[in-house]
């Protein structure tokens, strides 16, 4: 790891830990954060764990003007026997580097990033909520910090990891949601940044989401940006359909985000002997399957909810109710199996979990 020893500067103060009812998503942050700087010519340097604090940035910093930033999202889970598990963290940091490549941000060393994360979590172990279904959400991100208004890749960056204890996503078991098929706005196009986890993709998705909210739909189903025919993603999740016994998910085509949950779902379904196909699928095909009574289940996949069943799709004026609006058996089994592996309650046949050893004792 070269000169990458991580400096430790512990906070003199500790905030009170939240109660289960206060958790929610992304509102509460722990006592410390990880931060590392990049300077052209010097590379990434000065990795450190410091008290959680505001950043002081020049108003001309490039992140504020041209959106050169990338992020990740993963979780740490506390097991019943008090061990801490991460779920496939190497895939998140490898994806961070693919996002970096697309946004002209210098790569980070994956092993170094995982080591930094383990040390940070080790410091913050007491912050991992212990209640069923809760976890510590991890948000690594990189921002361009060169103070300059010219358009070019920044010569300086900061890589930061913050942690947030989060609650149960579904209060009464998993519950199907209503989805509005979006026919006007698009999330991403091939050749664009859809494959990268970058802030701009989220900024451009807000308008459609706002309209869906007003109509009391919980997310939008994104179609391809060229013909608006083919299904891409649902909200900020990947999407799966079970049609006449076969599970279908849109193939990674350059505008779809390569989700860790998506990949895990595909592996599990194959492991169970089910047929899973990654291919192009149109709304027209989905409608025909629905009319023929063959659209058996639909669900989104992502780190936040793991599996989010879809109970209704509204496309133009046509309402399609899926599986009578209740959670289907495949969605249920996937949710149960993945969350059980993540929480260390079930065997981990694919070696997906990584234990965080307590390497730093904090009083």
Q: How far is the CB of 60 from ligand PLP (least distance, A)?
A: 28
| Helices and strands of the chain, counted as H and E runs | 7, 18
Which residue, chain included where needed, has tokens 């930033």? Answer: 69
Question: Measured between alpha carbons, how far is residue 168 from residues 39, 130, 157, 201, 301 in Å?
Answer: 40, 11, 34, 26, 16
Taking CB under 6 A as the binding criterion, the range among 20-28, 103-111, 252-260, 348-356 that sits at the site for ligand PLP is 252-260
Site membership for ligand PLP, residue 197 (CB under 6 A): yes
Q: Which of residues 210-249 bind ligand PLP (CB under 6 A)?
A: 233, 236-238
Question: Which CB, 123 or 337, lies closer to ligand PLP?
Answer: 337
Q: How far is the CB of 113 from ligand PLP (least distance, A)?
A: 16
Site membership for ligand PLP, residue 119 (CB under 6 A): no
Q: Which of residues 12-71 bind ligand PLP (CB under 6 A)?
A: none
Site membership for ligand PLP, residue 342 (CB under 6 A): no
Tokens of 320: 């399609």
DSSP labels for 29-52? --SEEEEEEEETTTEEEEEEEEE-
Question: Which CB, 49 or 234, lies closer to ligand PLP?
Answer: 234
Site membership for ligand PLP, residue 298 (CB under 6 A): no
> What are the residues facing 7 on neighbouring strands?
48
* SS3 state at 214: helix
Q: How far is the CB of 244 from ligand PLP (least distance, A)?
A: 26
Q: Binder to ligand PLP among 89, 259, 309, 344 (CB under 6 A)?
A: 259
**Alpha helix (H) residue ranges in the chain:** 63-66, 89-102, 110-123, 199-214, 260-271, 283-291, 329-342
Site residues (vs ligand PLP, CB under 6 A): 73, 197, 233, 236-238, 257, 259-262, 301-303
């Amino acid at each position: 790891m070269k000169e990458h020893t991580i400096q430790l500067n512990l906070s003199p103060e500790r905030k009170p830990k939240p109660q289960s009812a206060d958790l929610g998503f992304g509102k509460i942050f722990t006592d410390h954060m990880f931060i590392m700087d990049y300077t052209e010519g010097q590379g990434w340097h000065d990795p450190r764990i410091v008290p959680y604090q505001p950043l002081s940035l020049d108003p001309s910093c490039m992140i504020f003007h041209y959106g050169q930033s990338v992020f990740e999202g993963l979780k740490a889970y506390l097991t019943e026997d008090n061990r801490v598990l991460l779920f496939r963290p190497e895939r998140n940091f490898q994806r961070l580097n693919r996002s970096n490549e697309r946004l002209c941000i210098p790569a980070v060393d994956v092993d170094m990033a995982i080591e930094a994360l383990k040390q940070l979590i080790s410091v913050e172990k007491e912050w991992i909520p212990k209640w069923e279904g809760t976890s510590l959400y991890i948000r690594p991100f990189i921002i361009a910090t060169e103070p300059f208004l010219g358009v070019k890749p920044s010569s300086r960056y900061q890589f930061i990891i913050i942690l947030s204890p989060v609650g149960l996503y579904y209060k009464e078991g998993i519950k199907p949601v209503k989805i509005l098929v979006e026919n006007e706005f698009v999330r991403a196009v091939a050749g664009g940044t859809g494959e990268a986890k970058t802030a701009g993709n989220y900024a451009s998705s807000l308008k459609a989401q706002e309209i869906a909210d007003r109509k009391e739909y919980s997310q939008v189903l994104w179609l391809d940006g060229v013909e608006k025919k083919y299904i891409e993603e649902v909200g900020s999740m990947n999407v799966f359909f079970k049609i006449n016994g076969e599970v279908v998910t849109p193939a990674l085509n350059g505008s779809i985000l390569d989700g860790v949950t998506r990949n895990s779902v595909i592996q599990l379904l194959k492991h169970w002997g089910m047929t899973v196909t990654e291919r192009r699928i149109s709304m027209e095909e989905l409608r025909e399957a629905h009319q023929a009574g063959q659209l058996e289940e639909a669900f989104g996949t992502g780190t936040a909810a793991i599996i989010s069943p879809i109970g209704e799709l509204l496309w133009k004026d046509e309402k399609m109710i899926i599986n009578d609006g209740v959670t289907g058996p495949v969605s249920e089994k996937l949710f149960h199996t993945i969350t059980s592996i993540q929480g260390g309650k079930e065997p981990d046949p694919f070696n997906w979990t990584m234990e965080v050893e307590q390497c730093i004792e904090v009083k």
